[in-house]
Amino acid sequence: MNVYDGQRIAAMLAAREMTETDDVSDADIIILNTCAVRAKATDKVFSALGRIRRAKKPDALFGIVGCVAREAGADAFRRIPELNFVLGPQSYHKLPALLENPDSKLLNIDLGGLEKFDEMPRMSVSPAVAYIPIQEGCNHCCTYCIVPYTRGREISRPYADVVRDCVHAAETGAIEICFLGQNVNGYQYTDDEGHAFRLSDLIRAAAPLPGVRRIRFTSSYPTEMTDDLIDMFRTEPKLLPFLNMPIQSGSPNVLTRMNRPYELNLYIDIIDKLRRARPDIQISSDFIVGFPGETDADFEQTMEIAKRIKYINSYSFKYSPRPHTAAAVMPDQIQETVKATRLAKLDAALNEIQREFNESCINREMDCLCEGPDKTGRHLVYRTPYMQQCIVAAAPHAPAIARIRITAANKASLRGEFVG
């Protein structure tokens, strides 16, 4: 979602004839697009702002947008008085008001619903991967999560608007469409004539568009994985065989305290259904270790589920208390040293599963999407259908989608060569 927001902000400034620079000391405006999901990310924002304050031109405008802006609000101006703007994740389309009046301070952390989608300019040329938000916010209220506070209650965009964005993306060069939402599979929209639409309808609408070769969506909540959506993995070959469906913990006790009220058996049943619908599907997850009250036995249940499902690519973190969340004030907070030990153990197991899967891909041929050259310029970076990074020797006129034979693998990435 932040990549999407960043692209839209860049398009908005490009429409005002501004160009990007990597050099902070040369910039006329500096925008930190921020994530508040973990405490460490928030801390990094304020240390980065301190560095920018010293490095920027005296008259350059600078500020923060996104979830840290919403979380910090006016307090951000107290911490960094030179800041020019603080705009929440649903307000960054207000930035032009500051450009018109650069001597003012701009604070807007309202939860404005869908207004930003209507007001932001479209990309004139879409990148190969078009991120298309379909809903924003979340109603699940997991007890550790700040998203319902920073992004608000769940709201789905009108079906016709999303389809219009897909058509525009396809017409302007998108090869992959990635539907986005904090709770993307909870998408539901009913139009004025009473027609109800779900994510499966959006996939069905996007798949036939000329030039679109791959479709994916992120991030999914287990109990919203309805049968119509699971069936899309059977019937729609453009839907990639890869799904991020976070479980967070393998302990029923911890899941209850997280306010993620699904049975483990239900989660496993959904995975089984997905694998019956698409035998080659692979799953990734997010994990939180050291949630308040997590015992050694709870943690071992997380280790068991990770090995049972064989998540090929996961994000695991130590629990960090976030403001405005119920878990932050729960008793039995876990010591940092215990969290660190558990995280290291889980990471080791997840890395091993990932390395095994990557190695199992050697000698397979896959259609991969080019992301561009690596830093050396001697290689091209492609993404497999499982979103693995695959490095290929650079070649003139390399296609955007290429058939690649995997020749080597390690935990982090694959190597490959063009077929034919």
What is the closest distance, in whole angstroms, from the C-beta atom of residue 288 to ligand SF4 in the complex? 9
Q: Does 145 bind ligand SF4 (CB under 6 A)?
A: yes
Q: What is the largest CA-CA distance in the chain?
A: 61
Under rule CB under 6 A, which residues in 196-235 are in contact with ligand SF4? 221
What is the closest distance, in whole angstroms, from the C-beta atom of residue 19 to ligand SF4 in the complex? 34
In this complex, which beta carbon is closest to ligand SF4, that of residue 145 or of residue 406?
A: 145
- Per the listing, tokens 């309805």 go with 226
What is the closest distance, in whole angstroms, from the C-beta atom of residue 270 to ligand SF4 in the complex? 15
What is the closest distance, in whole angstroms, from the C-beta atom of residue 13 to ligand SF4 in the complex? 28
Q: Does 147 bind ligand SF4 (CB under 6 A)?
A: yes
Residue 168: which of 215, 121, 113 has the closest Cα? 121
Neighbours of 322 (CB within 10 A): 20
Alpha-carbon span 95 to 155, nearest angstrom:
23
Under rule CB under 6 A, which residues in 73-102 are in contact with ligand SF4? none
**111 contact partners, CB below 8 Å, separation of at least 6:** 88, 90, 137, 151, 152, 153
Alpha-carbon span 284 to 164, nearest angstrom:
30
- Find the binder of ligand SF4 among 148, 181, 222, 290 (CB under 6 A): 148
Choose one: 84-92, 125-133, 143-151, 157-165; the region binding ligand SF4 (CB under 6 A).
Answer: 143-151
What is the closest distance, in whole angstroms, from the C-beta atom of residue 259 to ligand SF4 in the complex? 8
Under rule CB under 6 A, which residues in 237-296 are in contact with ligand SF4? none
- Find the binder of ligand SF4 among 34, 90, 182, 282 (CB under 6 A): 182
Identity of residue 296: D
Choose one: 134-142, 196-204, 306-314, 359-367; the region binding ligand SF4 (CB under 6 A).
Answer: 134-142
Residue 225: which of 275, 282, 186 has the closest Cα? 186
Alpha-carbon span 124 to 126, nearest angstrom:
6
Residue 360: which of 307, 282, 296 has the closest Cα? 282
Residue 197: which of 170, 166, 168 has the closest Cα? 166
What is the closest distance, in whole angstroms, from the C-beta atom of residue 127 to ligand SF4 in the complex? 25
What is the closest distance, in whole angstroms, from the C-beta atom of residue 246 to ligand SF4 in the complex? 7
In this complex, which beta carbon is closest to ligand SF4, that of residue 72 or of residue 145?
A: 145
In this complex, which beta carbon is closest to ligand SF4, that of residue 90 or of residue 384?
A: 90
- Find the binder of ligand SF4 among 64, 138, 166, 406 (CB under 6 A): 138
Cα separation values, 32 from 45, 122, 367, Å: 8, 21, 35
Choose one: 87-95, 133-141, 162-170, 363-371; the region binding ligand SF4 (CB under 6 A).
Answer: 133-141
- Find the binder of ligand SF4 among 183, 220, 249, 325 (CB under 6 A): 183
Choose one: 65-73, 95-103, 121-129, 145-153; the region binding ligand SF4 (CB under 6 A).
Answer: 145-153
3-state secondary structure of 192: coil
What is the closest distance, in whole angstroms, from the C-beta atom of residue 137 to ligand SF4 in the complex? 8
Identity of residue 2: N
Q: Do residues 152 and 90 lie in contact, with contact meaning Cβ atoms separated by under 8 Å?
A: yes
Element (H, E) at 405: strand 401-409
Identity of residue 263: E
Residue 195: which of 158, 224, 226 has the closest Cα? 158
Q: Does 130 bind ligand SF4 (CB under 6 A)?
A: no
What is the closest distance, in whole angstroms, from the C-beta atom of residue 292 to ligand SF4 in the complex? 15
Cα separation values, 39 from 20, 98, 101, 290, Å: 29, 29, 33, 15
Residues that bind ligand SF4 (CB under 6 A): 138, 140-142, 145, 147-148, 182-183, 221
